[in-house]
Amino acid sequence: MEPLPARDAITPEVLARWAHRGQRRDTPAGPGAYIDHPRRVVELLLAGRVADPEVLAAGWLHDTVEDQPERLVRAGAALDHGSDGGAAGSGDGIGVGDGEPVDDAVVRDRALAVLADLFGPTVGRIVAEVTNPLPSASAQGSPDVLYLEHLRQMCAHGSPAAVSVKICDHLDNTRDLDPVPADPRDPARLARLRRKYAAARPILRSASSLLAPRWQASALSRDLTQGR
């Protein structure tokens, strides 16, 4: 994997591009670079008149703890030891002591600590708020049901900054859910995602955020159950 730049050259965008390097995302034209998603989330935040650099930083980094926590932990260790982080992107499990794997929740906590160290506690907190929680043994329901419950809790009790990032994440996630000719994506998965995000949209419509109110209302106005 490409080495990390020096600590003073690491911006939220630089770290996001490094953490998501090689990760792909399904699009109507086939797999595309995952980094295009957080880039568009930041563009949507700006379109919604959010200019706070910490919120924009969280926009770049909002999926890193959920998708690439081990890379963040390895990046933090590399920076602490003054290495280039070249070995940080293997994606292998992180071990402690005699090599036993670390619990996923612990890895996430360490990854959030890396973000807080690099960009401040507010950025770490926003990313923590928007990160979908790990399933627990006591959790009941499908992943989509748990996602919606987390969304309700976040919109009811979370920070306006985190809600802003979540709305823009949702808007980009729903931009291309309708199948097109020669679409390589699984139609059943697209249908499930449309149901999931259609249920999420009313929750987000009434949420308080930092986005310009008229912009937020307009951006969330389309009924996802009706297609384009």
- What are 27-63's pLDDT values in tens digits? 999 999 999 999 999 999 999 999 999 999 999 999 9
Q: Mean pLDDT, the chain, as a whole number? A: 90
**DSSP states along 53-115:** HHHHHHHHHTTHHHH-HHHHHHHHHHHHTT---TTTTS-PPPEETTTEEPPHHHHHHHHHHHH
Q: Is 25 helix (H, G, I), strand (E, B) or coil?
A: strand
Residue pair 209/164 in contact by the 8 Å Cβ criterion? yes
- Output the pTM of the full model: 0.90
Region 82-93 average pLDDT? 50
Residue 98: per-residue pLDDT? 42
State percent of the chain over pLDDT 90: 79
Q: Is a pLDDT exceeding 60 seen at residue 88?
A: no
Residue 228: per-residue pLDDT? 54
Residue 129 makes CB contacts below 8 A (sequence gap 6+) with: 154, 158, 159, 162
In angstroms, what is the C-alpha Rg of the chain? 18
Identify the helix (H) or strand (E) that includes residue 44. helix 36-47
Q: Is a pLDDT exceeding 90 seen at residue 13?
A: yes
- First CA to last CA across the chain, in angstroms? 40
Residue 65 makes CB contacts below 8 A (sequence gap 6+) with: 72, 108, 111, 112, 115, 127, 128, 131
Higher pLDDT, 136 or 162: 162
Q: Is 210 helix (H, G, I), strand (E, B) or coil?
A: coil
